[in-house]
Amino acid sequence: MPRLSATALHDVRFTLNGRPARVAAEPRLLATDALRHGLGLTGTHVGCEHGVCGACTILIDGVPARACLTLAVQFEGRDVRTVEGLAPSPDRLSVLQEAFRRHHALHCGFCTAGILMSVDAFLKTTPDPDEHLVREVVGGHLCRCTGYSAIVAAVLDAAAILRGDGSNV
Amino acid sequence: MRAESVAYTGQSLPRVEDAALLSGRGRFIDDLGVRPGTLEAAILRSPHAHADILSIDTSAALALPGVVAVVTGRDLAALTLPMVAGLKVNVENWPMAVERVRYVGEPVAIVVAQTRYLAEDALDAIAVDYAPKPALLDPVASIEPGAALLHDTSGGNLVSDRRFSYGDPEGAFAAAERVFEITVRYPRNTGAPMETFGIVADYDPHEGVYDILANFQGPFSIHTVLARTLKVPGNRLRMRMPPDSGGSFGVKQGVAPYAALIAVAARIAGRPVKWIEDRLEHLVGAVAATNRVTTLRAAVTAEGRITALDFDQIEDCGAYPRAPEPATLYRMHGNMTGAYDIANVAIRNRVALTNKAPTGLVRGFGGPQVYFALERLVQSIAVGLGRDPLDVIHRNLIPAGAFPYRTATGALYDSGDFPAAVETAAGAGRYAELAARRDKARAEGRRYGIGLAAVVEPSVSNMGYITAVLTPQERAKAGPKNGAQASATVSIDPTGTVSVTTASTPQGQGHRTVLAQVVADVFGLAPSDVRVICELDTGKDAWSIASGNYSSRFAAAVAGAAHMAATRLRDRLARVAAAQFQAQAGDISFADGKIVAVGGASAPFARISALSHWSPGVLPEGVEQTIRETAFWTPPELTAPDAADLVNSSLCHGFIFDMCGVEVDEVSGAVRIDRYVTMHDCGRVLHPGMVEGQIRGAFAQALGASFFEELAYAEDGAFLTGTFADYLLPTATEVPDLDILHLETPSPFTPLGAKGVGEGNCMSTPVCIANAVADALGVADITLPLTPARVAALVERPEPAPPEGAGATAKPAGRPGDRTLRGEGSAFVPAPREQVWATLLDADALASIIPGCHGVKKLSPTHFTADVTLGIGPVKGRYKADVMLSDLDAPNAATLSGNVSGALGTGGGAGRVTLTEAEGGTRVAYVYEAAVGGKVAAIGGRLLDGAAKAIIGQFFAALARRAAPDRAGLFARLLGMLTGGHK
């Protein structure tokens, strides 16, 4: 990584939801602020800014990361995915997103983006999880509205559909 | 006539809100963007629980690039008035400290700068000189005569003391066969929505208008409070709410004081100002539920019938009685007897001020506090009488035929069948199964307990209940206050389609979906034909003083108002259609998107509904426009408190009966919920999926209150739970499955028969779990949260014998909340002892070896001051250190004592350093004890010990380099590795 000056703006280039992106960032600029206010992708939310709540979870090179604990300059050369990149097209939802809607797995929706990102990555490596595993993964996120049951049900349902087992609905 | 053909209401339709939220298109306040030129604010907050502000020097902050303004309490006071409280008490209730700080986290100054980053930088450059005063944390101690005063003009920290008597409590206690008593201390916790507060404010100096966009759940009565504080007429305070809000649970009522702060900052800066609260700010200073000390006595017959209750409640409202407090203490006033038929009640309500953050709305709002005492007492009565708690509950329940039922304290319970609900829940073998599981577990030597709780969940508050804090004479003077206005507007545009707006400011519940269902049913349309917009603008929308999102009023009040507005429009449309079809209005029906006359004539809905726009001349005589209808609804039952202090505090009263079985691990203190059953009667259910979501969400929140959550303070008032690693919320791995049961007795007082449902489990679950743990352990005194350490301490086990000789050397046990750092250690420095000694006393040398030191001044041979930057976990800040040397024993030993202070916290302590000669150098040994406060304590508590060791390691590594430069390189690296220090 090049040596960065604390007071200078650095031209950070990376891939964002499959498209080339760049943002001018001081080294201290948080990835959350770069995404939300620099690039206008406000779907990634900031709930605690200390890495506990998980609302800001994004994927960096396919791995879930807390954007609030990431600096924008760390995006350099990486493949970054956010909730805006989950749906197949602007007027459709992904299988996972549809399952969340069907199961009432969100109320206020503030934490939802982070949960979707963690689960999206999880189901790619673990297509047939049991409830315990799903609870472990969702357990990395705080949701204050739902009590989690509907989220867990939605994830299990989405996993079944993605495996081709058909919907549990 | 005009039966609603397809009842969408009552179905769990997918929510219209979800697609946007799931795809990152939500529009929360920080997602909206701002006008070019908008500045950002950061708030400097007090590190002291109680201190006089001697001076604030903002010059260095103002000189920083990008800083536009710094606003202090005095600047604020020049443009505003203190915020009014619900109490008549001589306390100045400023939203930012003016002469004195009274809680850790209290705003002291606001920096307005080009970016949030620059604003936060500038906070560190503000120099505040404080003179700390003793802190009062305990509400019982704070109201004792002679306690130090928080507010010199208040005449005491006891700011309200009212006694109430209903029926003949003295007579009932005198005649009682048995009297039971319980004292409980309910802790402070909060709703902790995932989205923090956010505000964008602007001021127009020509029109004198404040325009405030905030994720406020109001406007309700707080608009009035804010207008007065900002010294503008109500029509010059325009408040707007963003389309989405990331949860509230009551808490976002607390945006109000910050709305005043940011509005004034915008006025002073001359530009729009935006502020987004961070999580530490939220936990330390947003809104806490009240902590309460309750002593509750019951007069009881030998059979377990309760004949009288006597409540003594001491409410801790924190440092300022902030509106609408002390509403938490009075919201339950009408239903203090809960689900029970008890004719005689005495209540003493006292409000205490303490050096803690001000309190306000939090889901449950008074219910958790009251029912924790009441339902713990019911269990104690059962234990004391040797009866099954279920039997005691049954004996006292309000009978089925008694509704509407007037309670002793004045509430009119609308509907219910409590015995049937309890029987249904306990029946089907459920209670028997719990008992069997308990028997089996106990037979195997495990600790298993059963908890029950029967609770009445009030909703749709009567605005007037808060005036019960005044005496009847004071109320008569002030004039009556009452009601629960709800409003909704239904509009039809020129294409004939229907739109709905309300003043309900949803916080994520799904109101738009339900309103579409309700209105669609009225017009015979599909919900997708109805578009609902809920963002509120007080400048042009229909609202009133009771509007907003609180007291679970949506389903009962707001959805009903929408139904009312839609019905009025429909009835007019029926007359328009009748004229078109040459039929009678009574023969017109609305179904499947059509308007149909009995004879068979029909037209698409839009054909008739748009007529009022296109050809108003065809409207029959006497029929008004069908373009827009606003309904205001307020229930006549909600009368003002009367001269006898009877208070009908809420319109609706749902019922909950909870039952659980828990198993306690004796060794770890962990509590496992084995079974949990919750029975709800919330009247007519409008959307089963959302009702279930509210129940599960409240249950999870209540689990947090039961096991994890407490806004904790140290004895000196330092705030200790400033992160989500300290203030723990339940996660998916902690929330067990839940059996939800329903009984529906529609409310006769609400347009749709619905009642509130969102708060109930916050009231019933904590005490249900506490009862189960009490049963499992056979103990009477349960305090929340039931952390493993606290539960383990309750387990009755034989005390292990103390190790031999332990009596003489045992250290005193740490006090609760004590985060004193203690440590000792030694390091080897490869230099002669005299040289090490000289280095330690040399200001220049110290400046080069103290980690993060920017300079040391030697004021005298034994008094140094230093300017240092220290990082503790996520908190890195600049501090002023004042160090004294004493007990000098050159070159053997010295005691260092002193304190540090900075924007991020304070600390004080002492340490003794001893130097002994060792092979090839000097061994430096040290022992220290220090206490910390402020932000460092709030968010770095878990990290302090490690950080202290790292800093000390760095110090000795640097000392080694300085005292023995030749050999320092390798040695320092080794030492650094060993001590965890860097470099």
pLDDT tens digit string along B18-60? Answer: 999 999 999 999 999 999 999 999 999 999 999 999 999 999 9
Inter-residue contact B805 to B914 (CB < 8 Å): no
pLDDT grade, residue B6 (50/70/90)?
Answer: low
Secondary structure class of B248 (helix, strand, coil): coil
For an interface test with A, which of B31, B118, B194, B282 has the most A Cβ atoms less than 10 Å from its Cβ?
B194
pLDDT(B765) > 60? yes
Predicted local distance difference test score (pLDDT) of residue B812 = 43
The DSSP annotation for B939-966 comes to: HHGGGHHHHHHHHHHHHHHHHHHHH-TT
CB contact, 8 Å: B115 with chain A?
Answer: no
Average pLDDT along chain A:
96
Q: Give the length of chain A.
A: 169
Q: Which residue has the higher pLDDT, B505 or B896?
A: B505
Q: So what's the pLDDT on residue B807?
A: 46
Q: Which residue has the tokens 């006694």?
A: B163
* SS3 track for B643-679: CCCCCCCEEEEEEEEEEEEEEECCCCCCEEEEEEEEE
B36 at interface of A, judged by CB pairs closer than 8 A: no
Give the model's confidence band at B811: pLDDT under 50 very low, under 70 low, under 90 confident, else very high. very low
Where residue B597 sits, what CATH number does that domain have?
3.30.365.10
Q: What is the 3-state secondary structure (H, E, C) of B437-482?
A: HHHHHHHCCCEEEEEEEEEEEEEEECHHHHHHHCCHHHHHHHCCCC
What is the predicted pLDDT for the residue at B801? 63
- Using the predicted structure, report yes or no on whether residue B420 has a pLDDT greater than 90: yes
Residue B858 buriedness (CB in 10 A; 0-12 / 13-18 / 19+): middle
Residue B244 sits at the chain A interface (C-beta within 8 Å): yes
Closest-CA residue of A relative to B276 is A46
Which chain B residues are closer than 8 Å to A87 by Cβ?
Answer: 23
- Taking CB atoms and an 8 Å cutoff, what residues of chain B touch A93? 19, 22-23
Domain A95-163: CATH superfamily is [2Fe-2S]-binding domain (1.10.150.120)
What is the spatial distance between Cα B288 and Cα B497, in angstroms, rounded to a whole number? 44
Question: What per-residue confidence (pLDDT) applies to B808?
Answer: 43
Those residues whose C-beta lies under 8 Å from the C-beta of residue B336, and which sit 6 or more positions away, are B309, B311, B345, B347, B370, B374, B407, B409
CB-hemisphere CA count at 13 Å for B457?
A: 32
Residues B333, B414, single domain; the answer is yes
Q: Give the closest residue to B418 by CA, choosing from B454, B390, B460.
A: B454
Q: What pLDDT, on a 0 to 100 scale, did the predictor assign at position B946?
A: 78
The DSSP 8-state label assigned to residue B13 in this structure reads P
In a domain, B865, yes or no: yes
Q: Is A72 exposed, middle or buried (0-12, 13-18, 19+ CB in 10 A)?
A: buried
- Report yes or no: B760 at the A interface, CB cutoff 8 Å: no
Neighbouring C-beta atoms of residue B972, cutoff 10 Å: 21
pLDDT tens-digit map of B844-857: 888 888 888 888 88
Asked if B485 and B546 count as a contact pair (C-beta separation under 8 A), the reply is yes
Residues of chain A in contact with residue B200, where contact means CB-CB under 8 angstroms, are none
B732 contacts A45? CB cut-off 8 A: no
Q: What are phi and psi of A133, to 5 degrees?
A: -65, -40
Among B15, B24, B731, beta carbon nearest to A84? B24
For the stretch A58-110, pLDDT in tens is 999 999 999 999 999 999 999 999 999 999 999 999 999 999 999 999 999 99
Look up residue B168 and give its two tokens.
């003949």
pLDDT of B876 higher than 90: no
CA distance B515 to B503: 12
Contacts of B777 (CB under 8 A, 6+ apart): B447, B449, B664, B791, B794, B795, B796
Residue A113 predicted with pLDDT over 50:
yes
Under 8 Å between Cβ of B266 and B68: no
The minimum CA-CA distance between B202 and chain A, rounded to whole Å, is: 20
| pLDDT score recorded for residue B881 | 85
pLDDT band at B342 (very low <50, low <70, confident <90, very high): very high
- pLDDT of amino acid B2: 42
Mutate to test the interface with B, among A39, A110, A135, A141 (most CBs of B within 10 A): A110
B643 shares a domain with B611: no
Do B403 and B295 share a domain, yes or no? yes
Of B22, B723, B724, the CB nearest to A106: B22
Same-domain check for residues B705 and B613: no
For residue B709, is it within any domain? yes
DSSP-derived pairing of the beta strands B198-204 and B273-276: antiparallel
The pairing of strands B628-633 and B486-492 is: antiparallel
Distance CA B378, CA B300 (A): 10
CATH topology of domain A10-85: Ubiquitin-like (UB roll) (3.10.20)
Note the pLDDT of residue A139. Answer: 98
Instruction: Return the higher-pLDDT residue of B860 and B595.
Output: B595
Interface probe, candidates A59, A145, A148, A155, chain B, greatest B C-beta count within 10 A:
A145
* Beta-carbon separation of B732 and A108 below 8 A: no
Q: Among B449-463, B803-817, B907-921, name the one with the lowest average pLDDT.
A: B803-817
- Comparing CB atoms, the residue among A90, A93, A150 nearest residue B693 is A150
Average pLDDT in the B206-212 region?
A: 98
Give the mean model confidence (pLDDT) for residues B90-105: 96
Give me the DSSP letters along A95-164: HHHHHHHHTT--SS-TTHHHHHHHHHHHHHH-SS--HHHHHHHHTTS--SSS-SHHHHHHHHHHHHHHHT
Contacts of B66 in chain A (CB under 8 A): none
Asked if the C-beta of B736 comes within 8 angstroms of chain A's C-beta atoms, the answer is no
Confidence band (pLDDT; 50, 70, 90) for B4?
very low
Shared domain for B508 and B583, answered yes or no, is: yes
Confirm or reject contact between B19 and chain A (CB < 8 A): yes
Q: Where are the domains of chain A?
A: 10-85, 95-163
Task: With respect to residue B461, please indicate whether it lies within any of the assigned structural domains.
Answer: yes
Q: What's the pLDDT band for B128 if we cut at 50, 70, 90?
A: very high
Residues B510 and B606 in one domain: yes
Task: Write out chain B residues lying below 8 Å of A29, CB-based.
Answer: 117
**B203 in any annotated domain:** no
Tokens of B43: 């708030």
Interface contact flag, B696 A116, Cβ < 8 Å: no
Answer yes or no: do A142 and B510 touch at CB < 8 A: no
User: Model ipTM?
Assistant: 0.98
Give me the residues paired with residue B128 across strands: B56
Contact B558, B511 (CB under 8 A): yes
User: Is the confidence at residue B73, as pLDDT, over 50?
Assistant: yes
Mean pLDDT to the nearest integer, B544-548: 90
**Minimal-distance CA residue of chain B relative to A54:** B194
Mean pLDDT over all residues of chain B? 92
Q: Distance between CA B453 and CA B978 in Å, rounded? A: 55
Helix, strand or coil, per DSSP, at residue B744: coil
B844 and B701 inside one domain: no
**Cβ-contact B139, B147 below 8 angstroms:** no
- Do B867 and B902 fall into the same domain? yes
Q: What is the pLDDT of residues B462-503, one digit of tens each?
A: 999 999 999 999 999 999 999 999 999 999 999 999 999 999
The whole-number pLDDT of residue A166 equals: 58
Residues of A in contact with B21 (CB under 8 A): 106, 108-109, 112
If you compute the radius of gyration of chain B from its CA atoms, what whole number of angstroms results? Answer: 32
Structure confidence by residue, pLDDT tens digits, B560-582: 999 999 999 999 999 999 999 99
Asked whether the predicted pLDDT for residue B805 surpasses 60, the reply is no
State the pLDDT at residue B952: 78
Please list, in sequence order, all residues whose beta carbon lies within 8 angstroms of the beta carbon of residue B826, skipping any fewer than 6 positions away: B923, B924, B925, B926
How far apart are the CA of A130 and the nearest CA of chain B, in angstroms? Answer: 13
Query: With contacts defined as CB-CB under 8 Å, which chain B residues touch A50?
Result: 279, 723-725, 874, 939
Q: Can you tell me the distance from the alpha carbon of B808 to that of B805, in angstroms, rounded to the nearest whole number?
A: 6
Residue A11: other Cβ atoms inside 10 A: 10
Q: Report DSSP state, residue A67.
A: G
Q: 3-state class of B719 per DSSP?
A: strand
Tell me which residue has tokens 């297509």.
A127
Tell me, yes or no, whether B160 and B107 share the same domain: no
Q: Give residue B820's pLDDT.
A: 74
3-state DSSP: chain A helix, strand, coil percent, rounded to 5?
35, 15, 45
Task: Work out how many domains chain B is built from and give that number.
Answer: 4
Measured CA distances, B609 to B81, B82, B496, B619 (Å): 49, 50, 5, 11
Cβ atoms of B289 and B362 closer than 8 Å: yes
Cα(B261)–Cα(B505) distance, integer angstroms:
22
Element (H, E) at B412: strand B412-413
Mean pLDDT of B213-227: 91
pLDDT the model gives residue B953: 77
Beta-carbon contacts of residue B425 (< 8 Å; ≥ 6 apart): B431, B657, B659, B677, B679, B741
Mean pLDDT, range B809-813, rounded to an integer? 43
pLDDT of B965: 60
End-to-end Cα, chain B, rounded Å: 85
Token pair recorded at residue A99: 């399952």
Is the pLDDT score of A30 beyond 90? yes
- The kind and range of the H/E element at B430 are helix B430-443
CA distance B256 to B325: 13
- Hey, are the CB atoms on B21 and A109 less than 8 Å from each other? yes
- pLDDT by residue (tens digit) across B597-606? 998 999 999 9
Residue B151, helix vs strand vs coil: coil
Q: Chain A contact for B871, CB < 8 A?
A: no
Q: Look up the CATH number of the domain holding residue B852.
A: 3.30.530.20
Amino acid making up residue B316: D
What is the pLDDT confidence band of residue B809, given thresholds at 50, 70 and 90?
Answer: very low
Note whether B191 contacts A86, CB cutoff 8 Å.
no
| pLDDT confidence tier of residue B981, bands split at 50, 70 and 90 | very low
* Distance of alpha carbon B951 from alpha carbon B851, whole angstroms: 7
Same domain for B733 and B669?
Answer: yes
pLDDT of B927? 87
- For B133-165, write each residue's pLDDT tens digit: 999 999 999 999 999 999 999 999 999 999 999
Q: Which domain holds residue B621?
A: 485-633
pLDDT band at B788, cuts 50/70/90? Answer: very high
What is the number of other CB atoms lying within 10 angstroms of the CB of residue B812? Answer: 6
Per-residue confidence (pLDDT) for residue B507, from 0 to 100: 96
Q: Which residues of B touch A142 (CB under 8 A)?
A: 194, 724, 729, 731
* Per-residue exposure over B313-335, b if at least 16 CB sit within 10 Å of its own CB, e if not: bbbbbbbbbbbbbbbbbbbbbbb
The Cα of A65 is separated from the nearest Cα of chain B by a number of Å equal to: 17
Using CB atoms, pick whichever of B23, B693, B697 lies closest to residue A87: B23
Nearest by Cα to B70 from B78, B80, B60, B79: B60
And the tokens for B647? 């208070």
Give the pLDDT confidence score for residue B140 in this predicted structure.
Answer: 98
Going by DSSP bridges, is the β-strand pair B498-502/B530-533 parallel, antiparallel, or unpaired?
A: parallel
- The full 3-state SS of B280-316, as one line of letters, equals HHHHHHCCECCEEEEEEEEEECCCCCEEEEEEEEEEE
Tell me, yes or no, whether B326 and B424 share the same domain.
Answer: yes
Q: By the CB < 8 Å criterion, does B245 face chain A?
A: yes
The span from the CA of A81 to the CA of A26, in Å, is 21
Contact A48 B18 (CB under 8 A): no
Q: What percent of chain B has pLDDT over 90?
A: 79
Name B159's Cβ contacts closer than 8 Å, sequence gap at least 6.
B87, B89, B91, B317, B321, B351, B352, B353
Domain match, B258 and B168 both:
no
